[in-house]
Amino acid sequence: MLSGFTEKQPDTYQQRLSLLNEKISDVKSVLEDAEGFQKKSGNIDLQTAEFFSEYIAWEIDNPEITKDALMGNEAIVISVGASSLAVKTGANIDSLEREKRYHHLINFELTSSMEILDQALIRLKKDAVWPDQEDIQWDQMKFENGYFRINDRPVFSGGFNVIDHSLVDADKYPEWAEKDKTLIPLFLKKMQGLGVGIINMNINVPNLIMSDGSIDRASIKVFTDKIQSYDQMGFKVDVRLGWSGSRDVLEKFWPGITKYYAHSVPFDIDHPGVNAMMSKAMDVLMPELQKLPAIISWDLANEPGFYLHMWSPHTLTKYQARLKEQHTTVERLNTAWKSNYSSFASIPLPTAKKPNQCSPGEWYDIATFQSYRVKLFFELAQSSIRKYVPDATIHMKAQDNSSLGPRPNAVTDGIDREMLTPLLSLQGVDTRPLPVTEPRMAASNYDESIYGFHWLGQSFLYDYLTSLEPQHSVVDFEYHAFSINGIRIPDMPQNHSKASLWLAQLHGQISNITWYWHRRYGPNPFYNERARLWFYGNISTQPLVAAEYFQTMLRLNTFAEEVEALATDPIGPVRLLVSKPSFIQNQAHIDALHRVYEATCFHGRRIGFVTEDMLKVNGIPEGCKMIIIPDVEYVSESALQVLQESLQQGVQLVRFGDITPAFDPHGLPHAPSRLEFLEDVPTYKYASAPELSMAFESMLAPYSKDLPVKVSVVNSKGAFGVMHRQVEVNGKRVVLLVNVSDKPVQVQLQSKKGRAIDGYDMLSGEEVKGDNINMSFEGVRLIRVKL
């Protein structure tokens, strides 16, 4: 709730709006003489301020509609298959709070917009040499060598969910709806100039099947015409496949197919009619889409998740066949499961089973089969795209709490990132590096109070995904750095845009579409009841955060060469072991992975992961000199064999946590003699994050001693709280610093001999002294050092 509420009179707002518009005119005049980078940066501030000037004027003229939009709902009920789900917003909105929110919004927008313009004038007057690149022609982008590129140079597109939608209640305000429709193209061109290059579009594949069995070619035409209109405007398009359809139609042709369902895939993926259904629609859709050069990427699904209680009889048949293939005889299965089934055919559906209701062996087979069946479905979807576009750039937007997230049921949601990776060209994600804890945070059991925002889930996931084979970059096309569901921070720090985006790029993100830009030229700030859940506190109500988002995207593109070099710096000598058998059985392994990652990532080297399957297929990764084993209890014989051989070859093994390796993936104990080689390896126990980081400092020191620049926080040991990496670009050493701690800090850059190393901060355009570099809260510096 907002505090310190003092109601302002509308005429006061009008006066302040007039002053804002005068300042906009002043900045326009100064920009007439600017050029290059300064002009681009100034235009970002100017355009952002102009957007909000229009928004403020509309809010003053339409107070009741605006107040209504800001209220949201205490809870909103949404349909999930045949049931419903109440989503809490986390706020009780009374009439006083309604007024507070309205006046806070206008006051905040007026104050922040003026501050944007003040910052613009300061930058325009600054005597600094800024590099410059030609304006990005987004329609020239291609995906090559892990990045979207134009003439070999990486380009980083920003974007927003729903910016291309009409947000007006057309029935209630038909005259405004027509205006909105007319102005959307103009709005999108302005957004393009701010750094938006990719627009996401969704088409529901089963919904194309009509009741007479024909395909809805008219809807396909509308969809392709829309893509072509974006092409004409100079945008690229990400096409997402949706999987909703008419239940009556699908049941008519494939009886029983909708009786079982999943999140975002509302039908039985094991039904024998799925192949025919998909082919029927895709064989008409894809020939039309393959003609369109605007399509730059393909998304297999939106946040899919699969439920154990939705296994069908068809699933059971597949499951039984898979078990027979893996165990060969029911006697071997009974040994692994500690069961007494008479045949594979007698094994029932594991409806709603939990780990404590079955043996480790059965639970392992349930979880891995769930992922296997999901992989088969998306393999079918992927092949239906590649049939027509063999070199299609494919990803899948999966939530960041899948597989290695903190939810106990994540291991059975079917989204096994490692299993799906060979189907993809890019790792698709949906992350939430918010300043406030979100109930589904992708990292658990850690002390959030020592940080400025929740960076850990994003960085951990990106580094895990970019370690998998084959290695892919990351796209986050529902980037929740600013708001999600019930989490609203109506006055977020400006630097949050900068810190979260630079950190994302450092760990492998190459493009984002941010949640979400709601506003247009008006009038109604929401277009349906559910949208009211999202409006309050979103990025399009926060001028400073929005401007900083665009400014950061500009700088990422200006220094694209440095960004690529930093992100693609080879994985360092330290790898964290990800044991699928362990995380299926025990959340402790995931918690331990988070703790070890947190303790090792502030030492200047890119941290990598290695899975049991990677060890089995490829052995120890090239350049790996240390493998940390965090609370691994269940581990395969093949992984043990590679670990033992690596130890004999000089790779350092380190254990972390309270759990000792003991069982194979099915819960059968390893012989004590088999585990003897692990008894004498160094073992670290749980402690606070700063203490653990220091504990690992001495062990990791041999792997950092060859770095030319040592980074440390003044009055502290090491660089805990400041993420950093250094690379050489065109013969010059560049150091990136990102402050994720909960306060401003001072940082030192030193040579191997302890001499302070000065440099030039390319982001701020200023010289810095290596003995005391100020890092603001959520501050970022990109320093070209003078060795």
User: Residue 485: its pLDDT value, please?
Assistant: 72
**What's the pLDDT band for 3 if we cut at 50, 70, 90?**
very low
Residue ending a domain, choose from 671, 698, 725? 698
Same domain, 195 and 293: yes
Residue 312 belongs to some domain of the structure: no
166 in any annotated domain: yes
Alpha carbons within 13 angstroms on the beta-carbon side of residue 556 total 30
Confidence tier at 127 by pLDDT (50, 70, 90): confident
Q: How far is CA 233 from CA 46, 188, 238, in A?
A: 22, 9, 15
Span 496-512, pLDDT tens digits: 999 999 999 999 999 99
Q: Cα 610 to the chain's mean position, in Å?
A: 21
Query: How many angstroms separate the CA atoms of 560 and 566, rounded?
Result: 10
**258-289 pLDDT per residue, tens:** 999 999 999 999 999 999 999 999 999 999 99
279 & 416 share domain: yes
Last residue of a domain, one of 533, 562, 591: 562
Is the same domain home to 104 and 241?
A: no
The predicted-structure confidence for 641-700, as pLDDT tens digits, reads as follows: 999 999 999 999 999 999 999 999 999 999 999 999 999 999 999 999 999 999 999 889
Mean predicted confidence (pLDDT) in 345-365: 90
Strand partners, 203: 241
482, part of any domain: yes
Read off the pLDDT of each residue in 602-612 and give the average, rounded to a whole number.
97
- pLDDT for residue 407: 67
- Catalogue the E-assigned strands of 670-758: 683-684, 710-713, 722-729, 732-739, 745-750
**DSSP of 632-660:** --B--HHHHHHHHHHHHTTPEEEEESS--
pLDDT of residue 602: 97
pLDDT value of position 78 = 42
User: What would the mean pLDDT of 236-252 be, rounded to a whole number?
Assistant: 98
Give the pLDDT of residue 406. 60
Say what the pLDDT of residue 79 is. 41
How large a percentage of the chain has pLDDT more than 90?
79
Least confident of 172-186, 447-461, 748-762: 172-186
> Residue 548 belongs to a domain with what CATH number?
3.20.20.80
Confidence at residue 240, expressed as pLDDT on a 0 to 100 scale: 98
Length reported for the chain: 787
Would the pLDDT of 75 be above 50? no
Looking at per-residue pLDDT, the higher value among 625 and 522 belongs to: 625
Asked if residue 136 has pLDDT above 90, the reply is yes
Q: How far is CA 596 from the centre of its chain?
A: 21
Query: Cβ(211)–Cβ(252) under 8 Å?
Result: yes
The domain tally of the chain equals: 4
The owner of tokens 């209109």 is 229
Name the more confident of 407 and 718.
718
Query: CA–CA distance from 240 to each of 49, 167, 299 (Å)?
Result: 32, 21, 4
Residues 421 and 497 in one domain: yes
Average pLDDT, the chain: 92
Average pLDDT over residues 344-350: 96
281 with 400, same domain: the answer is: yes
Which of 105 and 530 is assigned the larger pLDDT? 105
In Å, how far are 237, 264, 398 from 386, measured between CA atoms?
A: 17, 22, 20
Instruction: Over range 44-67, report the average pLDDT.
Output: 93
Q: Give the pLDDT band of residue 588 (cuts 50, 70, 90).
A: very high
Kindly report the pTM of this predicted structure: 0.94
Examine the domain organization and report whether 279 and 236 are in the same domain: yes
- Asked whether residue 1 is domain-assigned, the answer is no
pLDDT of residue 399: 86
Rounded to an integer, what is the distance from CA 763 to the centroid of its chain? Answer: 24
Separation between Cα atoms, residue 190 and residue 498, nearest integer Å: 21
Tell whether 395 and 513 lie within a shared domain. Answer: yes
**What is the Cα–Cα distance from 175 to 168, expressed in whole angstroms?**
10
Are residues 621 and 730 located together in one domain of the fold? no
* Pick from 227-231, 433-437, 518-522: least confident: 518-522
- Structure-model confidence comparison of residues 780 and 172, the more confident one: 780
Residue 97, pLDDT score: 83
Which is it for the CA torsion 421, 425, 431, 433, positive or negative? positive
> Are 522 and 651 in the same domain?
no
Q: Please check whether residues 514 and 579 belong to one and the same domain.
A: no
In the prediction, which pLDDT does 684 show?
96
- In this prediction, residue 428 carries a pLDDT of 97
Q: Sign (positive/negative) of CA torsion 233, 239, 243, 245?
A: positive
User: Is residue 293 situated within a structural domain?
Assistant: yes
pLDDT of residue 496: 97
Average pLDDT over residues 760-772: 96
CATH number at residue 585: 3.40.50.880
Same domain assignment for residues 714 and 690? no
| 529 in a structural domain | yes
Q: Does residue 491 belong to any structural domain of this protein? A: yes
Q: Are residues 694 and 712 in the same domain?
A: no
Last residue of some domain: 510, 530, 562?
Answer: 562
- Which one is predicted more confidently, 439 or 87? 439
Q: Report the CATH number at residue 735.
A: 2.60.40.1180
**For residue range 16-46, what is the model confidence (pLDDT) as tens digits?**
999 999 999 999 999 999 999 999 999 999 9
- Domain of 224 in residue numbering reads as 150-303+380-562
Residue 125 or residue 417, greater confidence: 417
47-51, 536-540, 559-563, 781-785: lowest mean pLDDT where? 536-540
In a domain? residue 308: no
Q: Residue 339: which pLDDT band, with cuts at 50, 70 and 90? A: very high
For residues 150-178, average pLDDT = 84
Q: What is the pLDDT of residue 80?
A: 40
- Burial readout 450-474 (b: 16 or more C-beta within 10 A, e: otherwise): ebbbbbbbbbbbbbbbbbbeeebbb
